């Protein structure tokens, strides 16, 4: 097996979660979610199908944490969690994540744009106007693919694939997306369940 550091990170996070469970329950739940994410990355890196169960556990545990403690989502976690829920083809879970109130401070332009449009495609009304941004050369393909979905057109999978290949070791290094093209799976799910 490769990427043993990911497995070690997961074990450390789970141990930390057990340690914090009684004294700092929210921190303990966050540590458990980190453990599920690290273990999913380890499984993805080793082409092990157990990764999908860990992704689901990550999402369910994070939703429980946010619902239990009333913490607002930040844009980046909402963007990532929407991607993850869509990648496991769970539109109900994705819509639940899309309805959570988010903290719109300090967001990256692309994550903001994707989050807004994912929510719209899922049929979740937004209270803000569509964010505008100037995509980089690498981002242009993903924006074109999203625009195709918004207009009920076929998904240009080659553009999503190209974006992932160009960014997996840069933008998505040390994340689940480094080891598995969850973007393509998410876009496919959006294409099949989008409200256009």
Q: Which pLDDT score is estimated for 126?
A: 86
CA distances from 196 to 92, 117, 124 (A): 17, 11, 12
Average pLDDT per block of 10 residues along the chain, 196 residues long: 90 97 95 96 95 96 90 79 94 93 77 89 88 88 93 92 89 84 93 60
Q: Which pLDDT score is estimated for 73?
A: 75
Instruction: Express each pLDDT in 52-109 by its tens digit.
Output: 999 999 999 999 998 899 877 777 788 889 999 999 999 999 999 999 887 777 778 8
Q: Which pLDDT score is estimated for 86?
A: 95
Q: Which pLDDT score is estimated for 196?
A: 41
Total-model pTM: 0.89
Q: SS in 3 state form for the chain? A: CCCHHHHHHHHHHHHHHHHHCCCCHHHHHHHHHHHHHHHHHHHHHCCCCCHHHHHHHHHHHHHHHHHHHCCCEEHHHHHHHHHHHHHCCCHHHHHHHHHCCEECCCCCHHHHHHHHHHHHHCCCCCCCCCCCCCCCHHHHHHHHHHHHHHCCCCCCHHHHHHHHHHHCCCCCCCCHHHHCCHHHHHHHHHHHHCCC
Which sequence spans correspond to the domains of the chain? 1-71, 72-196
Q: Which pLDDT score is estimated for 124?
A: 93
Q: What percent of the chain has pLDDT over 70?
A: 97
């Amino acid at each position: 097996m490769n990427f043993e550091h990911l497995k070690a990170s997961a074990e450390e996070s789970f141990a930390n979660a057990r340690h914090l469970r009684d004294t700092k329950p929210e921190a303990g739940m966050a540590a458990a979610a980190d453990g599920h994410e690290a273990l999913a990355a380890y499984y993805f890196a080793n082409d092990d199908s157990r990764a999908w169960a860990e992704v689901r556990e990550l999402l369910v545990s994070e939703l429980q944490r946010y619902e239990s403690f009333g913490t607002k989502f930040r844009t980046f976690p909402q963007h990532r969690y929407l991607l993850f829920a869509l990648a496991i083809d769970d539109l109900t879970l994705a819509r639940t994540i899309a309805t959570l109130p988010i903290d719109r401070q300090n967001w990256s332009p692309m994550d903001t744009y994707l989050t807004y449009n994912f929510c719209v495609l899922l049929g979740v009304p937004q209270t803000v106007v569509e964010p505008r941004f100037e995509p980089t050369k690498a981002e242009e393909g993903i924006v074109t693919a999203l625009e195709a979905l918004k207009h009920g057109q076929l998904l240009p999978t080659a553009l999503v694939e190209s974006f992932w290949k160009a960014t997996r070791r840069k933008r998505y290094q040390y994340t689940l997306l480094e080891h598995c093209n969850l973007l393509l799976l998410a876009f496919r799910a959006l294409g099949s369940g989008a409200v256009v």
